[in-house]
A and B are shown apart, each in its own frame.
Chain A
């Protein structure tokens, strides 16, 4: 397959992910067929540098592809996005030859990376770990109680946070690539949710062991600040933008069909569509602007470690996750009963349920509380 990442992914969205979306949602099952297609097209190595066998793309291109995919199936796009968040951490913070080999292997085998950053008993705070890495004779061991590992059962490797050593403070964390063999995930709960049902994200007890060089070079606080937080918020927002665009598309088709029924008259819903476009453009400008900005500054520590940058990235997440619900709601008003029905070509039920996941996955209140804290000392706006 050839073409830009967005073209390749658009094709998979139309031909594979879209047609399966309803079944994936109904059965709350992993979108295996779409992932296989994404692997066959070698898209999982989009962020891996070319010299390691990947595409060597900038984040903006992955964000665009994520958005395209989300128009067809938001769960598939979410898996795609979360994989690339982990891949970004690996390729940008795994500088040793050993970790470069891990990235090479990702590209070669199109491995799917998952993430275990949250832990039972820390109240959802990423910057606190209870579990610790134990090192002995060049090997590491780790056991972690993870309340959620998205698509954990389908991942080839899991990147987990843990305290640096058993005597480290709770916020002195590292990020470890937990490899196969040596990784055992024991499911502790089910994943039966309102939306994003295809991400298959139950809780697990994670037990891992491997070469101690699997521990990333930089402290997790740096990885989070410079890469994981901005990349996550940009790619999540891109999923929601694609979801919103799917809703806009239904509203637009509905208004057009209405207009065709009465040639010469503009249907009343057209005004609502015009209003909807105002909000959609706001969202699109914010999300694509943030992705573009990050691509310009990602390699500049001065630009990505300041409070202003963190506040802006947090605001992006809050804004996009709020606007997506607004946009799907507006599309529902436009499509009326046709959008409310589960059996029409304008159905918005799945999109509405998925949209509500945005504000609760990493809760907006937690993010706003972080910004509130930083704004006590931050001076510029």
Chain B
């Protein structure tokens, strides 16, 4: 999952630095991800993982780091399995 998340970020987050240099908990917004870019990231993640982010997750904090994205996706993916 993490590899795929990082791939989506590499393609859509338009970061000021290489995603490979960032740790799981590093702030993506501080690394240059704009709110416009974050919308592209959301769409690409929905596509890649075949999920839909519900309204309660459509906030800045959900996408602020690789770890935060992973947490949100894990919740959605496990809900889909149940």
Name A residues whose Cβ lies closer than 8 Å to a Cβ of B: 127-128, 164, 168-172, 219, 221-222, 225, 302, 305-308, 373-374, 376-380
B31 at the interface (CB under 8 A from A): yes
Partner of A169, one of B31, B52, B54: B31
Point out the residues of chain B lying under 8 angstroms from A377, CB to CB: 39, 42-43, 46, 53, 58
Point out the residues of chain A lying under 8 angstroms from B4, CB to CB: none
Contact of A172 with B39 at beta-carbon distance under 8 Å, contacts A306-B56, A307-B58, A378-B58 already known = no
Point out the residues of chain A lying under 8 angstroms from B56, CB to CB: 302, 306
Nearest B residue to A169, CB-CB: B32
Interface pair A306/B31, CB less than 8 Å apart: no
Q: Mark B27-47, 1 if CB is under 8 A from A, else 0.
A: 001111111100100110010
Name B residues whose Cβ lies closer than 8 Å to a Cβ of A: 16, 29-36, 39, 42-43, 46, 52-56, 58-61
Per DSSP, chain A at the interface is: loop
Task: Give bound CA distance, A17 to B32, whole Å.
Answer: 45
Task: Give bound CA distance, A294 to B78, whole Å.
Answer: 34
Interface pair A225/B60, CB less than 8 Å apart: yes
Partner of A305, one of B31, B42, B59: B59
A-B contact pairs, 27 of them (CB 8 A): A127-B34, A164-B30, A169-B16, A169-B31, A171-B29, A171-B32, A172-B29, A172-B30, A221-B29, A221-B35, A221-B60, A305-B59, A305-B60, A305-B61, A306-B59, A307-B58, A308-B55, A376-B39, A376-B43, A377-B43, A377-B46, A377-B53, A378-B55, A378-B58, A379-B52, A379-B55, A380-B55
Nearest B residue to A222, CB-CB: B60
Contact of A307 with B30 at beta-carbon distance under 8 Å, contacts A169-B16, A373-B39 already known = no
* Least CB distance, A205 to chain B, in whole angstroms: 26
- Given A171-B33, A376-B43; 13 other pairs, CB 8 A cutoff: A169-B31, A170-B32, A171-B32, A172-B30, A221-B29, A305-B60, A305-B61, A306-B55, A308-B58, A377-B39, A377-B58, A378-B58, A379-B54
Task: Give bound CA distance, A225 to B35, whole Å.
Answer: 11
Point out the residues of chain B lying under 8 angstroms from A306, CB to CB: 55-56, 58-59
Point out the residues of chain B lying under 8 angstroms from A376, CB to CB: 39, 43
Task: Give bound CA distance, A311 to B39, whole Å.
Answer: 14
Task: Give bound CA distance, A163 to B14, whole Å.
Answer: 18
Point out the residues of chain B lying under 8 angstroms from A221, CB to CB: 29, 35, 60
